[in-house]
A and B are shown apart, each in its own frame.
Chain A
Amino acid sequence: MSFRFFECLSARFSIVIVTLLGVSCQRYWVCDEVDASRTAQLPTRLSETGLYANIATGELASGVFAYTPQFQLWSDGAEKQRWILLPDDRPIDTSDMDEWLFPQGTKVWKQFSVAGVRVETRLLEKRGPGAADWLSLAYVWSPDAQDALEAPLGAIDSHHTDHDVPAAGECLACHAGRRSFILGFSAIQLAASAAADELDLDTLVQRGQLSNPPASPPVVPGNSVEVAALGYLHANCSHCHNQTRPEQSGARCFDPNSDDDFTLKVSQLDDVLSTPTYRTVVGHAVKRGDPSDSKLYKLVNSRGLFRQMPPLATEKVDSAAVANLRVWIEGL
């Protein structure tokens, strides 16, 4: 009997207890499946989605632009590239600067590479005018990297890496937690100046692609540690832990239903104390000056079912973020 046996047994018993409790209460980790007929509306090959003019050379299609959010979701160290296609004739509805509503026809791609191996490219496409009219699908690259094929069921340890490709339904677990649906393309996330060939907030304003352009790019308050902490929590936690989550008709799915709010809001950036994170989390899930007694720190710094945050799509601790959170909490 190995140590692993006892370790796993302990973890598994916790699952048993939680699941038995789940018989009489909502189990937030259980999501509805995506209607297969919706996923089937998307192309079966990445080369047919409109990302590339020439997939063999990597030449992007006309109108497709790269972008990089200033605060990124931790994906176990995978390298990520992102692109967006916005319709020319309709701007993004930015009347709510924190919840951009994208026009029909918007497509967003995110590509994951692990140790230099291109593993998957995810697509979100808005097929209708409604805020929830998004389709989602991941495409797994063929071993010869000539194209990527749809993977509606996802994939475990794809390309002999530790990287798991989400099932189509799992995209909604995070993305459906915000009205904007797109999580990394917002005023806050694009406020930093981008590389010359990438989109940022200024470029979008200049191109007239925002219905209500901001007077100036929002600036996250605080010193470098505070900015990094607030940014990390915004990018990794706020898609679930926010107070403006869209109503759901089905079962709760990764809806924490708590008062915690990790969102960075454009209108609440006067100082760190006015951010939702300081107002709702510090003193509650974060004990001032004591990381080891802070629930948030312990969850971010551990992995295991029901014992980790974020709960999805990560099996490794983000050690750099944890180190920064530690310094941040010690300084509170």
Chain B
Amino acid sequence: MNGRIALAAAALIFAARTAFAEPAIDPGLTSGGGQIEAQAHFGVATTPFDVAPLPEAKGQAFAFLVGGRYALSAPLSFELRVPLVLGSVAQPAGSYVDASALGNPQIGARYRFIQRRSGEAALGLFGAVELGIPLASHADDLMPNRVLAIADGIEGRAHPEWFTPGVLPITPSGALRWASAPWSLETELRLPLLVRVSEANLPSMTTNTKTLGFAAIASGEARYRLSQRLSLAAGAHLFFDIAPSVAHVRDVSRVQDFERLSLHIHFGSRAALVIDLQTAIAGELGGSMVAGGLRGVVNL
């Protein structure tokens, strides 16, 4: 037991979760169980950036997320997620500068309110709250700020709590999961609230930071089990920019769509690898974002 706790603790130190459509690939952690999750998405994006002379952030980036969960009891688990971004940021005239940035690590608790089973079908209702540690990188040259914005674009603008520097994020969420082999459906609503704690090096003359930012992200995913080892999933989310944490410097669409196709490869009940291909059709990212990558989960 102590060994499992130690492993889970190590996972928490190094770690976080899958990016999208919580709960994760296998939410059914038993009491005392742990899970390590990692994600690496690579993509290109041109995203809004709210500094007047630089109204967009453009480039390519690897958006990494490592994390872990530990189930204190069957319905209650704790999570830690750490986003990290490596990328190349386009300069106005067309050259690129390599940049890296840490996002805001998230500490969270997740509770399963309802778990119903009826024959082959199962229904789960989950609630969660995450608290972000405002460690996201920022600098005078705005390179970390911009590479974080690019990563935010790669993830469909759905995780401002990860990629917004200078804020303390609080993110309540709720998810509903229904499964009846070979299908499973999942919906989630997340409501990140961003409390401004610093200006994050944004130039005060050309940037208008807000004390509070607020967004809503509604997501859904349908998954079909093709075989013992393979599942195919299609997911989408809508991001609603209700109260931007920084006033937009140009007209920016307040709604952003995001679509993802995933192939899940299962390794028994302990591990899964997911191959993602994701893009956006409309909104600010429409035609200017495409990404892909891997997610992995290992139950300890």
Mark A residues whose CB is within 8 Å of B. 1-2, 4-5, 7-9, 12-13, 15-16, 19-20, 27, 29-33, 36, 140, 151-158, 164-167, 169-170, 173, 253-254, 305, 311-313
- Whether A9 contacts B53 by the Cβ 8 Å rule is no
Q: Which A residue's beta carbon lies closest to that of B97?
A: A33
Having A16-B43, A29-B94, A167-B95, one finds 13 other A-B pairs with CB under 8 Å, namely A5-B286, A8-B288, A16-B290, A16-B292, A19-B44, A30-B88, A30-B95, A140-B53, A151-B53, A153-B141, A164-B92, A173-B93, A173-B95
Indicate if the CB atoms of B287 and A4 lie closer than 8 Å.
yes
Q: Are A12 and B97 in contact (CB under 8 A)?
A: no
Interface status of B96 (Cβ within 8 A of chain A): yes
CB of B91 within 8 A of CB of A167, answer: yes
Residues from chain A with a CB closer than 8 A to the CB of B288 are 8, 12
Residue B142 interfacial (CB < 8 Å): yes
Shortest distance from the beta carbon of B171 to any chain A beta carbon, whole Å = 29
In the complex, identify which listed stretch (B54-62, B64-72, B116-124, B178-186) lies at the interface while the others stay far away: B54-62
The answer for the CA separation of A134 and B143 in the assembled complex, in Å, is 23
A31 and B96 in contact, given A1-B281, A157-B55 (Cβ under 8 angstroms): yes
CB pair B93 A167 closer than 8 Å = yes
| B279 CB-CB contact with A under 8 Å | yes
In whole Å, how far is B11's beta carbon from the nearest beta carbon of chain A? 27
Say whether A153 contacts B96, CB under 8 Å. Answer: no
- Closest Cβ of chain B to A72, distance in Å, is 17
Residues of A within 8 A of B60 (CB): 15-16, 19
The 26 listed contacts between A and B (C-beta, < 8 Å) are A2-B287, A5-B286, A5-B287, A9-B287, A12-B288, A16-B42, A16-B43, A16-B44, A16-B290, A29-B95, A30-B88, A30-B96, A30-B97, A30-B98, A31-B96, A36-B141, A154-B54, A155-B54, A155-B92, A164-B93, A165-B53, A170-B93, A170-B95, A312-B93, A312-B94, A313-B93
Chain A residues within 8 Å of B286, by CB: 2, 5
The answer to whether A170 and B91 have CB atoms under 8 Å apart is: yes
Complex CA–CA separation, A156 to B56 (angstroms): 8
The minimal Cβ–Cβ distance linking B207 to chain A, given in whole angstroms, is 12
Across-interface contacts of A169 in B (CB, < 8 A): 91, 95, 97
**Chain B 140-161 interface mask (CB, 8 Å, partner A; 1/0):** 1111000000000000000000
Q: A166 to chain B: which residues have CB within 8 Å?
A: 91-93
For B143, list chain A residues within 8 Å (CB).
Answer: 33
A164-B53 Cα distance, complex, nearest whole Å: 9
Residues of A with C-beta under 8 A to B56: 156
Instruction: Determine the distance from Cα of A155 to Cα of B93 in the docked complex, in whole angstroms.
Output: 9
Interface size on B, residues (CB 8 A): 29
A105–B206 alpha-carbon span in the complex (Å): 33
Q: Please provide the 5 A-B residue pairs with the shortest distance between their CB atoms, ordered closest to farther.
A: A155-B53, A154-B92, A166-B93, A8-B287, A164-B92
Provide the residues of chain B in CB contact with A173, threshold 8 Å. Answer: 93, 95
Q: Which residue of the partner chain, among A5, A155, A165, contacts B281 with CB atoms under 8 Å?
A: A5
Closest partner residue, chain A, to B91 (CB atom): A167
**Cβ contact of B53, chosen from A32, A158, A311, cutoff 8 A:** A158
**B44 x A12 contact (CB < 8 A):** yes
Measured between alpha carbons, how far is A15 from B98 in the docked complex, in Å? 15
Among B54-111, those with CB < 8 Å from A are: 54-56, 60, 88, 91-98
Per-residue A-contact encoding for B27-56, CB less than 8 Å = 1, 0 else: 000000000000000111000000001111
Residue from B53, B88, B286 with most neighbouring chain A CB atoms (10 Å): B53
Pairwise interchain contact B95-A9, C-beta atoms closer than 8 A? no
CB of B185, distance to nearest CB on chain A (Å): 25
B97 — which chain A residues lie within 8 A by C-beta?
A: 30-33, 169
Contact A253 B95 (CB under 8 A): yes
A254 to B143, CA, bound (A): 20
Please indicate the chain B residues that have their CB under 8 angstroms from the CB of A151 in the complex: 53
User: Smallest CB–CB gap between A162 and chain B, Å?
Assistant: 12
Q: How far is the CB of B145 from chain A (nearest CB, A)?
A: 11
A254–B53 CB distance below 8 A: no
A157 to B281, CA, bound (A): 24
Taking CB atoms, residues of chain B closer than 8 Å to A4 are 287
Select A19's contact among B88, B140, B142, B287, beta carbons within 8 Å: B88
Minimum C-beta distance from B68 to chain A (A): 27
Residues of A near B98 (CB, < 8 A) are 30
A312 to chain B, nearest CB (A): 5
A154 and B88 alpha carbons, distance in the complex (Å): 16
B143 to chain A, nearest CB (A): 7
State how many angstroms separate the Cβ of A173 from the closest Cβ of chain B.
5
- Chain B residue numbers with a CB within 8 Å of A311 are 94
Inside 8 A of A20's CB, which chain B residues have their CB? 42
Are B287's CB and A313's CB within 8 A?
A: no
- Looking at B42, B54, B60, B93, the one whose CB has the most chain A CB atoms below 10 A away is B93
Bound CA span A253–B97, Å: 10
Distance in Å from the Cβ of B137 to the closest Cβ of chain A?
Answer: 15
> What is the bound-complex CA distance between A5 and B289, given in angstroms?
10
Q: Which residues of B contact A153 (CB under 8 A)?
A: 53-54, 92, 141-142
Q: Of A15, A30, A36, which one neighbours B44 at CB under 8 angstroms?
A: A15
Check B53–A154 contact: CB distance below 8 A: yes
Report Cα–Cα, A30/B43, bound state, in Å.
17
For the complex formed, measure the closest distance between the CB of B260 and the CB atoms of chain A, giving whole angstroms: 15
Please indicate the chain A residues that have their CB under 8 angstroms from the CB of B53 in the complex.
140, 151, 153-156, 158, 165
Quote the shortest CB–CB distance from B106 to chain A (angstroms): 28
Task: Tell me the smallest distance from the CB of B61 to a CB of chain A, in Å.
Answer: 10
**Neighbouring A residues of B140 by C-beta, 8 Å:** 36
Report the minimum CB–CB distance from A46 to chain B (whole Å): 16
On whether the beta carbons of B54 and A12 are closer than 8 Å, the reply is no
Complex CA–CA separation, A140 to B141 (angstroms): 17
